[in-house]
Amino acid sequence: MRFRLWILAVWFPAVAQAAPELLCHFEVNAERSVHRFVPVSDPYTVGSVNLADRFRFKAVVLGNDTRVDVINVYVSYQTERQPMLLQHVKFVAPLAQIKPTPDALTGRVALYSPFLGKELQYGCALHEVVP
């Protein structure tokens, strides 16, 4: 019996399952950065990313290690008192790609602060990462 299992393991190796991951590229005041977001089951555990002390970006990727059910993207401008929501975008059941362009999911987005006209540019893509 063990021999048969060994033969099966040699001839039919385990198929590696691809994991989805959201990669976002940002530019604020000529500063560039990249942030990675992985699927979670609880949206309340996801924190936001500080971008040059002017903007906050939060990507809530709901799903598991094999699929994404929904992605909610929130962009806020950081005022002195509290963040002010500029954008909320929802992507339902997006498909991960093996080699997407950096902005395959969102396109290239430009947002401007209500004060001083500061600009945030970003683009996100849902990658299928094979371990």
Higher-confidence position of 64 and 115: 64
Q: How many domains does the chain have?
A: 1
Look at residue 2 and tell me if it is in a domain: no
Q: 10 Å Cβ neighbour count for 97?
A: 14
Boundaries of domain holding 50 = 21-129
Look at residue 72 and tell me if it is in a domain: yes
Look at residue 100 and tell me if it is in a domain: yes
pLDDT, the chain, mean: 89
Look at residue 8 and tell me if it is in a domain: no
Confidence of residue 1 (pLDDT cuts 50, 70, 90): low
Look at residue 6 and tell me if it is in a domain: no
Higher-confidence position of 118 and 1: 118
Look at residue 73 and tell me if it is in a domain: yes
Helices (H), the chain: 2-11
- Starting from the edge strand earliest in sequence, which strands make up the sheet with 31-37, in order? 31-37, 19-28, 119-129, 109-112
Q: Which pLDDT belongs to residue 129?
A: 87
Question: Which distant-in-sequence residues (6+ apart) come within 8 Å of 31 by Cβ?
Answer: 52
C-beta separation of 22 from 44 below 8 A: no
Look at residue 75 and tell me if it is in a domain: yes
Look at residue 65 and tell me if it is in a domain: yes
